[in-house]
């Protein structure tokens, strides 16, 4: 696999963002329990620090292979320790 990522983190700000792309010769899909070949992934991620140990995350992935296009939207909270 090969990938590139660009992250923006303004100084003094409580939010950060990331934009990237990756290529994988094959990728195992845990939800469908199968393998996919020649997968291109493009993603956007944003996170917001609510305090010194709590962070909210939001991410969007666009994956393309020879057969289909997949969209994934994820959100969550992290406790940092």
d(CA 75, CA 60): 9
Between the alpha carbon of residue 29 and those of residues 3, 51, 78, the distances in Å are 18, 34, 24
Q: With a threshold of 0.75, does the pTM exceed it? A: yes
Is the model's pLDDT at 18 over the cut of 90? yes
The pLDDT, as a whole number, for residue 69 is: 92
Instruction: Let me know if 53 is exposed, middle or buried by CB neighbors in 10 A (0-12, 13-18, 19+).
Output: exposed
Is the model's pLDDT at 25 over the cut of 90? yes
Query: Looking at residues 42-53, what average pLDDT do you find?
Result: 94
Q: ∠ CA 1-40-4 to the nearest 5 degrees?
A: 60
Query: Looking at residues 9-15, what average pLDDT do you find?
Result: 93
HSE value, Cβ hemisphere, 13 Å, CA-based, for 14 = 9
């Amino acid at each position: 696999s090969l990938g590139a990522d660009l992250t923006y983190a303004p100084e003094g700000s409580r939010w950060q963002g990331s934009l990237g792309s990756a290529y994988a010769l094959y990728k195992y899909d845990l939800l469908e329990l199968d393998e996919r070949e020649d997968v291109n992934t493009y993603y956007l991620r944003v996170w917001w620090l609510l305090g010194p140990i709590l962070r909210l995350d939001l991410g969007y992935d666009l994956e393309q292979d020879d057969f289909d296009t997949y969209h994934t939207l994820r959100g969550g909270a992290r406790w940092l320790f």
